[in-house]
């Protein structure tokens, strides 16, 4: 008694023994065809399962198993990538979309006229003075007191 030879291949169908088939044994005998086909299928499936397990183990062990995608460090995207827009108050390290930046700039400019709706225009309007508030307060302090208004005029009534 010997074992049937197995080949790891998928057999498309399983032979049905017909009433008229003669009983023939041996590796290529008609009586052993079904067993041989099923054994080949079984060996094929066993190898596929083992390969899947090996591939999965390699995948899990790999530092970056998805090299076909953009790298995680400094990726270069193509097309039009999108991302969710964070809340206006979000100051985390999340990705800032152009929508988020536009909202932040709009909030900064508020309802300023078009000639003052950028930081450069505001700086130009303030004379590029980084201490503008102090400068204004100092100028207000130099303002002539109301009771001194006209003190230098000899006859204020004529003025």
Residue 115 placed within a domain? no
Tokens representing 63 are 């530092």
Q: How far is CA 129 from the centre of its chain?
A: 41
Residue 46 placed within a domain? yes
Q: State the pLDDT at residue 34.
A: 93
Residue 19 placed within a domain? yes
Residue 123 placed within a domain? no
Residue 4 placed within a domain? yes
Residue 157 placed within a domain? no
Average pLDDT per consecutive 10 residues, the chain (159 residues; last block may be shorter): 89 92 90 93 96 94 87 85 91 91 83 79 84 90 76 73
CA distance 141 to 68: 68
What per-residue string of b and e applies to 81-91 under the rule 16 or more CB within 10 Å gives b? eeeebbeeeee
Residue 57 placed within a domain? yes
Tokens representing 130 are 């980084």
Boundaries of domain holding 30: 1-68
**Nearest Cα to Cα of residue 125 among 142, 112, 106:** 112
* Count: domains in the chain: 1
Residue 81 placed within a domain? no
What does pTM read for this prediction? 0.43
Q: State the pLDDT at residue 147.
A: 72
């Amino acid at each position: 008694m010997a074992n049937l030879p197995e080949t790891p291949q998928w057999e498309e169908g399983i032979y049905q023994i017909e009433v008229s088939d003669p009983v023939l044994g041996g590796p290529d005998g008609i009586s052993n065809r079904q067993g041989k086909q099923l054994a080949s299928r079984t060996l094929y499936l066993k190898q596929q399962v083992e390969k899947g397990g090996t591939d999965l183990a390699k995948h899990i062990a790999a530092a970056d198993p998805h090299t076909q995608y953009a790298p995680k460090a400094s990726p270069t995207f193509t097309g039009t990538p999108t991302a969710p827009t964070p809340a206006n108050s979000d100051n985390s390290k999340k990705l800032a979309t152009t929508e988020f930046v536009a909202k932040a700039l709009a909030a900064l400019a508020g309802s300023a006229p078009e000639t003052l709706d950028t930081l450069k225009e505001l700086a130009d309007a303030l004379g590029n003075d980084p201490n503008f508030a102090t400068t204004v307060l100092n100028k207000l302090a130099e303002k002539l007191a109301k009771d001194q208004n006209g003190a230098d005029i000899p006859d204020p009534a004529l003025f």
